[in-house]
Amino acid sequence: MQTADLVVESFGPGGLERSGLDFETLRARRPEVSLLSISPWGLEGPWAERPSTEFTLQAELGGPAYRGLPERGPVAAAGRVGEWAAGAFAAVAALAAWRGARTSGRGDHVDLSIFESMITCMTTYHDLFGQWFGVPLAQALELPSIEPAKDGWVGLCTYTGQQWKDLCALMGRPDVGDDARYLDGSARMREIETIQPIIHAWTRAHTIDEIVELANLMRIPVAPIGDGRNVLDFDHFRAREVFVDHPDGFKAPRIPYRVQGMATAPFRPAPRLGADTQAVEAELPTAHDATRAATPPTSIAAPFEGVRIVDLTAFWAGPVATFALASLGADVVKVESIQRPDGMRFSGALPGPTLWEWSPVFHGANAGKRGITLNLDAEEGKALLRRLLEDADVVIENFSVRVMENFGLGWDVLHAINPRLISVRMPAWGLDGPWRDRTGFAPNVEQASGLAWITGYADMPLILRGVCDPVGGMHTVFTLGLALEERERTGQGMLVEVPLVEPALNMAAEQVIEWTAYGVQLGRTVNRGPSASPQGIFKARPAKAETRYLLEDLSVAVATDAQWQALARVMGRDDWARDPGLAHEAGRRAREDEIEAAIAGWVAGRDCVEVVDALLAAGVPAASLVNGHMIHPNAQLTARGFFRELEHAVAGNARYPMLPFRFASRPAAWNAFAPPALGQHNDEVLGGELGLSEAERAGLREKKVIGEAPAFSIG
């Protein structure tokens, strides 16, 4: 470790200390070294040592409670996506620690919570919904979503009212599209018995290819449903050569980003135990080399301090990337227009005269930024954007591929404006390939990548709701860090591509690996999982204890043989404890139906909270199934300061989630202020930084080049 820049560990609270390798010991030998600790709850707080698995963490944050149909029970997201999400945040945390140490000469200890990472990725800011709406989130489907076609399943997505109208016209039911009762997705769910048969009558009459072709002609977001077998044959992924041969004998998705001028290293075989010990030992420093001393500075710079970012992103994946960059010290200026504000401003917004300022997802994904408006269809707006780009380090956008070129701002133009500018592009499907011009949102990415294939009921795949956007965003932050380092070396800007679908394909890689290595096609197992048995969600008696809402469902996951013995003791099942056929996971899997039925019967007559408390006390991972809109108050999140009170110019004070990792040197985010109201910083940026006079700004407002309210009627 005397030559390391970064040490990554996941032993949990006290694990390194018990080995005599605490952070202060490491830093005494090498002041520049940073330590990244990854644990379920974080290293500190009242729940730090609480037994858990990725499955029970999902229950604790509220994800399964609103996925699926009420009459069929809650469904967890499959594929251990919470661990993938934490890994994406861990990459950003590691990069941030390394950048900070390189600037200051002093390493830092970064404490990452898997639970907090999952909250960011799997709840779409439900706590903000709870603060403003105060009602539980309903268990529901999206209509439309994954629908039966003549020859399989097809994925649709209608985020906007216009997309729904267009789909209804395509289905030959313009009358349904014109009915104001059905423009909102939650309203369609309330009328599922009316709406679903209309959708199914049309989708069942057409093949997947027919639906995809017709929907694309209407710019309706659509995708085939991928799985570990067919995703290899999708023409888009074949054209982009997404899947490559792995040296261990299977196909795998490639590294999910491209940086102009930088080659990615080929995959290496997974290391065999001890295979590289001698080679590593030969590289160790001598005792003389290891004794250098250093006096580290007392202050640690923000990892992205001095990086100026022009943020053209909208919805979630792009904004959450720039939120993370702002939280780590970057100066982010968000650019919208009053003709086309960020569409997320209107998603799930609290109705009212300024509803564009009341979207929980917009708020959560845009804290820490300044915001201006520029009409990029007007020459004055484009000219001002060019002036911003002249002094910027980075421009980030997640438009459809053709949009920047339509604005006259393709890569060649951007590079001419500012040769040091890094252009980061985040199209759903990538900059080339047969699908490049398709509209795509996170549900379509979940559908096409295979993530939705393994989530849901046995006869009904379900989307995961949200994880692709933040994971794609964190891949973007990491890739930008690489690009900034390359620019430091060359002095030149570059084009960076992070398609939203490719991090999702990496999350779903297990399916392709199983198919190409063993010919096994993974499918849906509802709430069962590959790393725990038994594992499931069970209905108990509603909790009689005073709680923040009704608790009656709970999750249990037995990940070790010792936990199985503990479960047997708590349930009073001495026969299970003595049965050699159940002592190990393979035996329990063979009898999962029997075991789950017994657990369900035992839980049914007992108080939900009391059952969870008894299981946790015995060391068995368990959690009450909460509703995500009321995750707060939560003792662990409060102790770690995950939420921070911020004051918005219109919405006032609210709790906002921060990044899911803490720096020992600075527990709080660097730029922790509320998201911008529409055009809030027009005068500060356009006047104070670009030098436009008050009269010039007034003229731009009159021409609607800038403004502070949408240029169209609301409601």
Q: What is the mean pLDDT of residues 571-597?
A: 98
Residue 434 pLDDT > 50: yes
The closest of 271, 224, 268, 272 to 244, measured between CA atoms, is 268
CB 375 within 8 A of CB 381: yes
Instruction: Indicate the DSSP class of residue 125.
Output: S
Report the mean per-residue pLDDT for the chain: 94
d(CA 10, CA 40): 9
Q: Are strands 152-156 and 222-224 parallel, antiparallel or unpaired?
A: antiparallel
pLDDT band at 99 (very low <50, low <70, confident <90, very high): very high
The closest of 257, 189, 172, 222 to 471, measured between CA atoms, is 257
CB 56 within 8 A of CB 438: no
d(CA 641, CA 655): 11
Q: What are the pLDDT digits (tens) for 615-638?
A: 999 999 999 998 888 788 899 999
Q: What integer pLDDT is reported at residue 239 of this predicted model?
A: 98
Compute how many other C-beta atoms are within 10 angstroms of the C-beta atom of residue 282.
Answer: 7
Q: What integer pLDDT is reported at residue 546 of this predicted model?
A: 53
At 419, list the tokens: 């040769």
Lowest mean pLDDT among 160-164, 194-198, 481-485, 706-710: 160-164
CB 671 within 8 A of CB 326: yes
pLDDT band at 291 (very low <50, low <70, confident <90, very high): very low
Q: Are strands 258-259 and 308-311 parallel, antiparallel or unpaired?
A: unpaired
Which residue shows structure tokens 């940026």?
A: 685
Cα 350 to Cα 91, 134, 345, 600: the distances in Å are 35, 11, 10, 39
CB 462 within 8 A of CB 145: yes
CB 149 within 8 A of CB 204: yes
Q: What integer pLDDT is reported at residue 710 of this predicted model?
A: 98
Axis crossing angle, helix 442-449 with helix 468-490, rounded to the nearest 10: 90
SS3 letters for 526-560?
CCCECCECCEEEEECECCCCCCCCCCCEEEEECCC
Cα 170 to Cα 150, 159, 218, 704: the distances in Å are 17, 16, 8, 35
Instruction: Indicate the DSSP class of residue 102.
Output: H
Helix, strand, coil share (%) of the chain residues, nearest 5: 40, 15, 45
Q: How far is Cα of residue 451 from the mean position of the Cα atoms in its chain?
A: 13
Percent of the chain with pLDDT over 90: 85
Q: What integer pLDDT is reported at residue 606 of this predicted model?
A: 95
Domains within the chain, CATH numbers bracketed: 158-220 (no CATH), 535-620 (3.30.1540.10)
Q: What are the pLDDT digits (tens) for 36-63?
A: 999 999 999 999 999 999 999 999 999 9
Q: What is the mean pLDDT of residues 365-372?
A: 98
Q: What is the mean pLDDT of residues 118-139?
A: 89
pLDDT band at 292 (very low <50, low <70, confident <90, very high): very low
Beta-carbon contacts of 321 under 8 Å, excluding residues fewer than 6 positions away, are 313, 396, 426, 472, 473, 474, 476, 477, 480
Percent of the chain with pLDDT over 70: 97
Which residue shows structure tokens 């985040």?
A: 426
d(CA 704, CA 681): 16
d(CA 358, CA 344): 10
pLDDT band at 549 (very low <50, low <70, confident <90, very high): low
CB 332 within 8 A of CB 370: yes
State the Cα angle at 65 between 60 and 71, rounded to 5°.
Answer: 150
d(CA 37, CA 180): 51
The DSSP result for 28-56, as a single string, is: HH-TT-EEEEEESS-SSSTTTT----HHH
Q: What are the pLDDT digits (tens) for 674-690?
A: 999 999 999 999 999 99
d(CA 88, CA 639): 24
Cis amide prior to 144 (ω within 30 degrees): yes
